[in-house]
Structure 1
Amino acid sequence: MRKVLICFAFILGSAAQAEEVVIAALGDSLTQGYGLPAEEGFVPQLQAWLDAEGVEAKVVNAGVSGDTTAGGLARVDWTLTPEVDALIVTLGGNDMLRGLDPAQARGNIDGILAAAEQAKVDVLLVGMSAPGNYGAGYKADFEGLYPTLAEQYETLFYPDFFTGLLAEEEGMSTARSETIQRYFQGDGIHPNAKGVALIVEDIGPSVSELAAQAKAQER
């Protein structure tokens, strides 16, 4: 009887594990968790949020610090292993910092989404806000590529990785808006642990929707 119970427990555990959706987070240093202790990075905090919400999903950190959209495209095929059910794409920040052509970024992300479509993997595409120092045309072209591709590939879309922080800034005066920097590390680019927490709180429901969509596709 004991052996039967152990076997039954093992089967139940395997079944529960099989129901867990595996989500790969393909991105750059923002995804990788640059400058933060491992447990305070984006992926660990997102995992904790999903666990607290009862979402049966495991998030795999596929973030590489310094990566551009070209780097993401170069490694998307080996990121999309057979175990991966869904993909979060957060790329483009380093392209913008280097002033790379938005058309190049668009082509690379197009390739990533095409690979995900081929692998039958659901996607949450995360947009980025471009700085204005390259001109209004550059800013419009870069920011516009994300919703355009999301619509083309019919993926889930989250407008800006920093939306959770931007929400904190709404209603502040110019002077007070400078206090938003308390959510960033010293470089003013990468969020600190508190900043990541705000980002995760805002993007979490979209990731939960991604997990639900992927689970529905499995049935």
Structure 2
Amino acid sequence: MTKRTVRAAQILRDGLRLIVLGAVALIALPTLAQAAPKTLLLYGDSLMAGLGLDAKDGFAAQLQAALDAKHLDVAVVNASVSGDTTADGLARLDWTLADRPDAVLLELGANDMLQGLPAEAVGHNLDAILDRFAADGVPVLLAGMKANPSLGQDYVAAFDTVFPTLSEKYKAALFPFFLDGVALDATLNQADGIHPNAVGVKRIVANILPYVEQLLAAATH
């Protein structure tokens, strides 16, 4: 075999090797693209932290199971803290966002209401939180809360207006009332009458799931 023939054979082998490697890379691309799921950050208080429930019965676990059942490649990251007010949520926002999520479900305000904190302060804090998400280009689903009627008509009117007003300002999706169909139903709540039991959480997840799906569809990865 002449040197020219040997060289030609080597070039042919190298060319085939590149073709094979290229084909393998193309096959692997979809796998690599799918390797990292979208991240959905839960940013709330005890209602999403799962106070009083086993981990598998909490909102985060049940929502994750519901998304898995829909075959959606999403990782639910629960950054909710029991007892948090909107001021607490604002104070810890920077370090929570150290790893940027793809979307956020924001549920804060219940503890402010239970403590009778001014609705104006609730609106100010949530405004600052939503402004930060907007600056980072992170889509948000805002979970609304309703004030207890015992706090008086003026407070109820001011508090209940906060969530739709901010939703409109930031063009954020709004789930009007996080505890819709669950609040005040003894069969769906724990003994304290405030926190949902496992069945109550299941109801909440079923109610909010279509909103979460729309949020994730709008989230870039």
| TM-score tier after normalising by the smaller chain length | 0.7 to 0.9
Q: Deviations over 1:21-49 (max 9, x none)?
A: 21111000001000000111001100111
Equivalent runs, 1:40-55 vs 2, <5 Å: 40-55=57-72
Provide the rounded CA distance (Å) in 2 between the counterparts of 1:106 and 1:135: 18
- Are residues 7 and 37 of structure 1, via their aligned partners in 2, closer, same or farther at CA, if it must alter by over 3 Å? farther
Query: For residue 200 of structure 2, what is the aligned residue in structure 1?
Result: 195
Equivalent runs, 1:53-72 vs 2, <5 Å: 53-72=70-89
When normalised by structure 2's length, the TM-score is 0.85
Query: For residue 169 of structure 1, what is the aligned residue in structure 2?
Result: none
Query: For residue 132 of structure 1, what is the aligned residue in structure 2?
Result: 149
Q: 1:91 aligns with which of 90, 104, 108?
A: 108
The share of aligned pairs that are identical, in percent, is 44
Say whether residues 1:181 and 2:198 are aligned partners: no
Provide the rounded CA distance (Å) in 2 between the counterparts of 1:7 and 1:47: 31
Provide the rounded CA distance (Å) in 1 between the counterparts of 2:144 and 2:170: 14
Equivalent runs, 1:64-213 vs 2, <5 Å: 64-165=81-182, 180-213=185-218
**Number of residue equivalences:** 202
Provide the rounded CA distance (Å) in 2 between the counterparts of 1:103 and 1:72: 16
Residue type at the aligned position of 2:171: E
Provide the rounded CA distance (Å) in 1 between the counterparts of 2:121 and 2:99: 28
- Are residues 57 and 136 of structure 1, via their aligned partners in 2, closer, same or farther at CA, if it must alter by over 3 Å? same
Query: Which runs of no fewer than 5 residues in structure 2 stay unpaired?
Result: 1-20
Residue type at the aligned position of 2:34: A
Tell me the secondary structure at the aligned position of residue 79 of structure 2. strand
- RMSD (Å) for aligned C-alpha atoms: 2.2
Residue type at the aligned position of 2:161: G
**Do 1:69 and 1:108's aligned partners in 2 also have CA atoms closer than 8 Å?**
yes
Q: 2:35 aligns with which of 6, 12, 17?
A: 17
Greater relative contact order (Cα 8 A, min sep 6): structure 1 or 2? 1
**Do 2:182 and 2:189's aligned partners in 1 also have CA atoms closer than 8 Å?**
no
Query: Which runs of no fewer than 5 residues in structure 1 stay unpaired?
Result: 167-177
Provide the rounded CA distance (Å) in 2 between the counterparts of 1:111 and 1:31: 21
When normalised by structure 1's length, the TM-score is 0.86
Provide the rounded CA distance (Å) in 2 between the counterparts of 1:140 and 1:121: 29
